[in-house]
Structure 1
Amino acid sequence: MSIQASLIKAVTRRTIKRSGLNQDQLVRHLRKVFNNSPSLTLLPLGVKLSQVSQPGFEGDRISVADPQMTVLYIHGGAYIGGVTKTYYNLAGRLAKQLKGEVYLATYPFAPEHPFPAAANRIFEAYEYLLKLGKRPEDIVIAGDSAGGGLTLATLLQIRDKGLPQPRCAVTFSPGSNCFPDDRILDALDPSDAMLSADIIRTVIDIYVPDAEQRTHPYASPCLGDYTGICPLMITVSTDEVLYSDAKRVRKAAEQSGVEVEWLERGGLFHVWPIMVPFLPEARQDLKKVTAFIRRHG
């Protein structure tokens, strides 16, 4: 583990990880930490940023001059908060390495807009890209944490609505299960430097307040049938509370015949690949992500 990773873990443990907060307190806390991006934006040469505000899509576009590929990226933030600015560095490098463009989508947050508002919004964003004339085989859907869960929900919704699947999909530590195993959550809590078992349980109550909806595969993608879904890459840390949920997604996808590229690391933290260019492990693993995407052309 790099020195940078150790430092980031120390900071996130102090600033993000919490236990014992009620719903209102957790919403305020996560919005405070996730909506104020501390990272410096360093876009690669030849990559440009612009805002997009259209009926089907709200967010940012980061692109090279003549993009050959499109990534629809869905940010994390526990379905409660988060800003696209946090992901400019990641999106810029994806655009550069893929000679492509990255659409960073915004979506409505819980508790004001509970499930399925966010999932429906991201599905609309995919429809928007198709209406722009993007070919499905040139589109990649990717996301981290809650955005990883929304990525999986979107793939299932695309299949269910009869639209063509994208080229492939990438999820970093996807949030995917409204029925986590409490014993596993509690066992992983001490090693997770960012999220707590308590945060996971409370976020589920906030995002899907109607308990009857929690079995829906768009709410708990690990319960989904992945028949007909595009190739999928999953990254997860063995130290994080979402580790077992990511494994359940892998199992469900592979049982349905989906090709899954699995990347796990010990000693690292939740969604570490987004920390480019500052984290050495993120730089290494982003190369694996772009290689996976290229392979499925």
Structure 2
Amino acid sequence: MRTGHATTRAETTRARYSGGVSASADIQIVRRLLGSKPRPVGWAERRARIVEVGGAWPVADDIAVEAVDTGGVPAEWSRAPGADTSQVLLFLHGGGYCSGSIASHRTMATEAGRAAGIRTLALEYRLAPEHPYPAALEDARAAWDWLESQGFAADQVVVGGDSAGGNLSLELWRELHRAGRPEPAALWLASPWTDLTLSGASMDDNDAIDPLLHRAYLEELAAAYVPADIARDDPRVSPLFADLTGLPPTLVQVGSDETLLDDSVRFVRAAAVAEADVRLHVYPHMIHAFPLWSAVLPSARAALAEFGEFARERLG
């Protein structure tokens, strides 16, 4: 996954994008989309841009959606034809805790539900810097409590999301676990951001080829989300450093070209040491949160199909 030598990595990077190394042609469509405008500046522009690129391809016509209030937190039910309405994917979107929304991640959330044959409940949790930690976790917990109040059994719910949503999925599980409450049947982590200290080697190894996330931007996101009195390596915000004993079955998917690659690799190792049932799939040439673009990426469709099979196994 990385050579350990910066010069070799740089040579490989240059070869890959000059034709010397075979690359996925489909990912270039997404790379062109992401590079079609200058990087947005400021929270409002960033939030608008993630909706634009995340929603570049429309939701399928056969998806039914319904807005719902989950204990004071806006959310959206979605289901494809034939979905089992007794089973749920609680979907927590990415965006570094500072952007992202139901709208930006609607295609990913709805197609994940289709793949698993279940309903999806996508959450519009509060964003930093206006609402730093623990606001997003409080909203996720409120949605979980609401699902329980509606009669959904914990073992019929999968919790998952991408990037910060993967982090938030883990934090919700940890809170339930510590409280001795019923826990989700499984977790799905797509390109999860598990280490807000940014200490993974891939942060530098993949800097030249990741079109989305770089150290300076991630530092800005972490500073906006984490209060000054909480250390960045605190397990409450960086689940890589948490006690993962009792972790539910977990599927981790990540692209080989992400600066956050090591956030997945090191997390899976930590979970394995804790004797968890954890699976890691690294998708070649894929970038951060690639399942967002299933309309044009075969690897994204494969990742969603893999999630669907995993969810069906765990939900019975």
Per the TM superposition, whether the score is higher than 0.5 is yes
Alpha-carbon contact 2:195-2:239 (below 8 Å) kept: yes
Q: Decide whether aligned partners of structure 1 residues 34 and 102 sit closer, same or farther in structure 2, where only a CA change above 3 A counts.
A: same
User: 1:119: Cα distance to partner?
Assistant: 1.4
Matched, 1:164 2:182: yes
Q: Which amino acid aligns with 1:33?
A: R
Tell me the residue number matched to 2:14: none
User: 1:183: Cα distance to partner?
Assistant: 5.6
RMSD: 2.1
How far apart are the structure 2 equivalents of 1:266 and 1:249? 19
User: 1:290: Cα distance to partner?
Assistant: 0.7
User: 1:27: Cα distance to partner?
Assistant: 2.5
Alpha-carbon contact 1:35-1:81 (below 8 Å) kept: no
Q: What is the number of residues matched between the two proteins?
A: 290
2:78 to 40, 50, 62: 62
| SS of equivalent to 1:78 | coil
Tell me the residue number matched to 1:116: 134
Deviations, residues 214-253 of structure 1 (Å, cap 9, x unaligned) = 2331200111111112111111112111111112211221
Q: For structure 1, list consecutive stretches of 5 or more residues without a partner in the other structure.
A: 19-24
Alpha-carbon contact 1:68-1:99 (below 8 Å) kept: no
Q: Which amino acid aligns with 2:26?
A: Q
- The 5 A counterparts of 1:128-143 are 128-143=146-161
1:3 to 9, 19, 25: 25
Deviations, residues 124-157 of structure 1 (Å, cap 9, x unaligned) = 2112111111111110001001111111111111
Greater C-alpha radius of gyration: 2
How far apart are the structure 2 equivalents of 1:74 and 1:29? 21
Matched, 1:177 2:195: yes
Tell me the residue number matched to 2:13: none
Alpha-carbon contact 2:132-2:227 (below 8 Å) kept: yes
How far apart are the structure 1 equivalents of 2:112 and 2:97? 23
1:52 to 68, 71, 76: 68
Tell me the residue number matched to 1:103: 121
Deviations, residues 169-222 of structure 1 (Å, cap 9, x unaligned) = 101111111212276422321111211121112211111141534233120011
Tell me the residue number matched to 1:190: 208
How far apart are the structure 2 equivalents of 1:245 and 1:17? 24
User: 1:92: Cα distance to partner?
Assistant: 2.7
Q: Which amino acid aligns with 1:221?
A: P
Alpha-carbon contact 2:201-2:262 (below 8 Å) kept: no
How far apart are the structure 1 equivalents of 2:237 and 2:79? 31
Alpha-carbon contact 1:44-1:96 (below 8 Å) kept: no
Q: Which amino acid aligns with 2:47?
A: R
Tell me the residue number matched to 1:21: none
2:48 to 22, 32, 38: 32
Tell me the residue number matched to 1:295: 313
Matched, 1:276 2:294: yes
Percent identity between matched residues is: 25
Alpha-carbon contact 1:2-1:281 (below 8 Å) kept: no
TM-score (norm 2): 0.85
TM-score (norm 1): 0.90
Tell me the residue number matched to 1:22: none
Alpha-carbon contact 1:10-1:193 (below 8 Å) kept: no
